[in-house]
Structure 1
Amino acid sequence: MCRNIKTLYNFDPPATNDEIQAASLQFVRKLTGFNEPSKANEEAFNRAVKDVALVARNLLDSMVTNAEPRNRDVEIARARARAAKRFGTGMN
């Protein structure tokens, strides 16, 4: 899994389309190995990002849980604590 792809499920407020788009772009970049596609592959690359975003939105919208929604601020604090432990410094 790409480290840059964040969990988007079960947050209050729900994941935005921009968050899903960013995760989809990271996923397609990882699959293709391209940060930016060549002109010859640009259309296929962009279509893949759009398709992945659509499937991701459908997945997130159709899942159900009894768990309480996660708090974004708490999750950010936890990620910073993990980074500080792992890398020896906090992220501001």
Structure 2
Amino acid sequence: MEKYMLPCINKKIFGVDCLGCGMQRAISLLFQGEFKAAFYMYPAIYPLLLLLVFLGFNSFMKFKYGQLIKTGLMITSVLTIIFSYVIKMKIIF
């Protein structure tokens, strides 16, 4: 499966990881049952997975606070992506 993964264009052109680098490998690790390794590869995989599952359920069943939950999951996902990128690139620390 890994030989069919798409290369990161940002990394090829500029030599720097993008905010999504590691997501494909994390998904592959999830399919292999390596949950801890998937988190270390791309920490935002679980908030994004929760968001995807919630959006799927919310399309069939409408929740009372669906918009609030969706917004919270989106904010959590974006903050996790940015925070993990900052740590990975050692921008602040």
Shorter-chain TM range is: 0.3 to 0.5
Structure with more helix by fraction:
2
TM-score with structure 2 length normalisation? Answer: 0.35
